[in-house]
Copies of this chain bind each other. A is one copy, B any other.
């Protein structure tokens, strides 16, 4: 085993403190970043190395892989005595869909949004109605009032709908939809990303394996926030909204690290 670089050790420590720590979720991020193409395979030994370097125990990895195979995300096959892991078609589809949001360098806001006002109904029924829409990406902004990007489309018939792109967004609404907590989370990520940048400035020499591990941790942290954020009209965001800065920093660091060749990695860790 080689010794890890100082930049890697410090950056990994910073990135390990935030975000989603579920092992299966980290493995999904890894496959999405390194092996999203149909022919991509990650060998068992390489997978073990990456996971170990992230700081996850082998038993936890085995449990997570078992779950991912059971859920149809990942499959494995033998190549000689080596297990080769890949995303299933289903896993690739999920991964690709999430990638549009995760890897977008610029947030493209839609031209139009719509606000839906539900028919008057008893509270319990209204809550169920609202929750069904929230599951489809709507944001609750009032009693039976929900906002979503894009036009309403023909699917909404029994609710009042107005489409538009001019808004007034009061502070109570920013608070109610949790934008302040999101801002806190983005600020923490921003601070972490800046420290990773400084580590890499000070000590640019890091190994290919370290690059892969840092990429996974970076993407995983960014992904954790960006997939939890619903796209909102610009007027919703506070003036010092840190999401664009985090997006820029994430891409700067990923570009600087580069994407190692999966084939060479597999060879190096046979």
The residues of A with any CB-CB pair to B shorter than 8 Å are: 112-113, 115, 117-120, 141-145, 147, 151-152, 156-170, 172-173, 176
Contact = CB atoms under 8 A, between A and B. Distances in A.
A118 to B, nearest CB: 7
B157 A162 contact: no
A168 B176 contact: no
Q: How many copies does the complex hold?
A: 2
Contacts of A118: 142
A142 B141 contact: no
A99 to B, nearest CB: 31
A211 B100 CA distance: 72
Contacts of A160: 141-142, 167-170, 173
A165 B117 CA distance: 15
Given A142-B144, A143-B142, A145-B117, A152 B168 contact: yes
A158 B176 CA distance: 14
A170 B159 contact: yes
A177 to B, nearest CB: 10
Contacts of A163: 164-167
Contacts of A142: 117-118, 120, 142-145, 160
A168 B162 CA distance: 7
A170 B121 CA distance: 14
A125 to B, nearest CB: 14
Given A163-B164, A170-B158, A173-B160, A144 B141 contact: no
Given A160-B167, A163-B167, 13 more contacts: A117-B141, A120-B143, A120-B172, A120-B176, A142-B144, A142-B145, A142-B160, A143-B143, A151-B166, A157-B168, A160-B168, A160-B169, A161-B166
B172 A168 contact: no
A172 B118 CA distance: 10
A240 to B, nearest CB: 20
A76 B141 CA distance: 56
Nearest to A121: B172
A265 to B, nearest CB: 50
A118 B176 CA distance: 13
A119 B162 contact: no
Contact of A161 (B117, B161, B167): B167
